[in-house]
Amino acid sequence: MEALGFLKLEVNGPMVTVALSVALLALLKWYSTSAFSRLEKLGLRHPKPSPFIGNLTFFRQGFWESQMELRKLYGPLCGYYLGRRMFIVISEPDMIKQVLVENFSNFTNRMPQSIMPNSSHHVASRGMCPGGRRLACYLHPFRMAKGIAEV
């Protein structure tokens, strides 16, 4: 440990523990806030996010009420963070048309609409789920084979 000789410090167990703890806390602070600069880089206004949870507390009064408040406070084009994930809100009809119709290929990372796309179609037409298994297997896994065959 001659590299630390000019500081006249003795490297021992507690000192290493403190140094590693400080380094871990610094990395944790960086990780909890590093994703929150993306909206600012895009020039979008947004509420100030909290570490780790983002703007989750902003949605306490309900999702739709909070969306209306976002539009009122930050305009028709704004954003927010849920956790580390960034969301952009577009509430102007002309801009929505441009994103969904004219420039559709430029906006590829959208949220999935549902877990089972067209699930009502599958249930109504064939009684099957997209994976090919009967819906009864999901609804009644405790039934005997005879009961499933009757469904």
Please report which confidence band the pLDDT of residue 113 belongs to, taking 50, 70 and 90 as the band edges.
Answer: low
Find the mean pLDDT for residues 13-17. 87
User: Does residue 24 surpass a pLDDT of 60?
Assistant: yes
Residues 127, 64 within the same domain: no
- Maximum distance among all alpha carbons in the chain? 84
Say if 13 falls within a structural domain.
no
The residue segments making up the domain with residue 132 are 120-151
By C-alpha distance, which of 112, 103, 89 is closest to 39?
89
Residues 45, 75 within the same domain: yes
Q: Which residue carries 């499933």 as its tokens?
A: 148
Mean pLDDT over each residue of the chain, to the nearest integer: 76
Please report which confidence band the pLDDT of residue 144 belongs to, taking 50, 70 and 90 as the band edges.
Answer: very low
Say if 26 falls within a structural domain.
no
Find the mean pLDDT for residues 44-53. 91
Say if 139 falls within a structural domain.
yes
Among 24-28, 65-69, 84-88, 114-118, whose mean pLDDT is lowest? Answer: 114-118
CA-derived radius of gyration, the chain:
26
Model-level pTM greater than 0.75?
no
CA distances from 47 to 40, 51, 59, 61, 82 (A): 11, 13, 11, 15, 11
What pLDDT, on a 0 to 100 scale, did the predictor assign at position 138?
47
Q: Which residue carries 């509430």 as its tokens?
A: 91
Residues 70, 124 within the same domain: no
